[in-house]
Amino acid sequence: MKHVKENDLAHGEFGKWLEKVGLDKYQASRFIKVANEQSKLHSSANLGLKALYQIATIPVEHREEKQQTSSGEMKTPYEMTNKEREEFKRQLKQRDEENAQLQSQMEQAQRSEEIARKQYKYGLNNYIFTIKF
């Protein structure tokens, strides 16, 4: 499918081709995502498209890590059920959002500190200037 889209059809013809073969764009984009990530995916022989797509959308650095599931078991995304993978992806997203928020707060604190240092330095210089005259 990816090859057909990239090499065999003129621009704008892919949608018509999908209709002809009975696929919608949503399914096609999932197939293409899995194909793009296939070389990075662990053994995929026993996994369905939904599982492969879920794994393909997990950042590469987390695909081999064992994670604790809600049942307390330690599993890699390849060993998880679809529901467990969905929960894992939600946790990753939440963690990333929290990290981004903390990063933003840290940057704001650093800017505030820099402003305070400049104000202190300006105030100190003003004070010294006042004493000399």
- Centre a 10 Å sphere on the Cβ of residue 2 and count the other Cβ atoms it contains: 14
Q: Enumerate the β-bridge partners of residue 68.
A: 74
- Alpha-carbon span 131 to 133, nearest angstrom: 6
pLDDT of 73:
93
Tell me the mean pLDDT in the region 125-131: 60
Among candidate residues 40, 62, 61, the one with its CA nearest the CA of residue 52: 40
Instruction: Give domain status of residue 45, yes or no.
Output: no
Instruction: Give domain status of residue 17, yes or no.
Output: yes
- Residue 4 burial (C-beta neighbours within 10 Å; 0-12, 13-18, 19+): middle
pLDDT tops 90 at residue 98: yes
pLDDT of 133:
52
Tell me the mean pLDDT in the region 37-48: 66
Instruction: Give the whole-number percent of the chain exceeding pLDDT 70.
Output: 85
- Alpha-carbon span 80 to 47, nearest angstrom: 11
Instruction: Give domain status of residue 3, yes or no.
Output: yes
Instruction: Give domain status of residue 133, yes or no.
Output: no
What one-character-per-residue DSSP string does 44-103 give?
-TT--HHHHHHHHTS-GGGSSS-EE-TTS-EE-TTTS-HHHHHHHHHHHHHHHHHHHHHH
Domain span holding position 12:
1-40
In this predicted model, which residue has the larger pLDDT, 39 or 15?
A: 15
| Per-residue burial over 21-33, b = 16 or more CB atoms within 10 Å of its CB, e = otherwise | eeeeeeebebbee
pLDDT of 84:
94
Which amino acid, 90?
Answer: R
How many domains does the chain fold into? 1
pLDDT tops 90 at residue 85: yes
pLDDT in tens, 66-77: 999 989 999 999
pLDDT tops 60 at residue 130: no
Instruction: Give domain status of residue 29, yes or no.
Output: yes
Instruction: Give domain status of residue 1, yes or no.
Output: yes
Instruction: Give domain status of residue 120, yes or no.
Output: no
In this predicted model, which residue has the larger pLDDT, 9 or 27?
A: 27
Instruction: Give domain status of residue 35, yes or no.
Output: yes
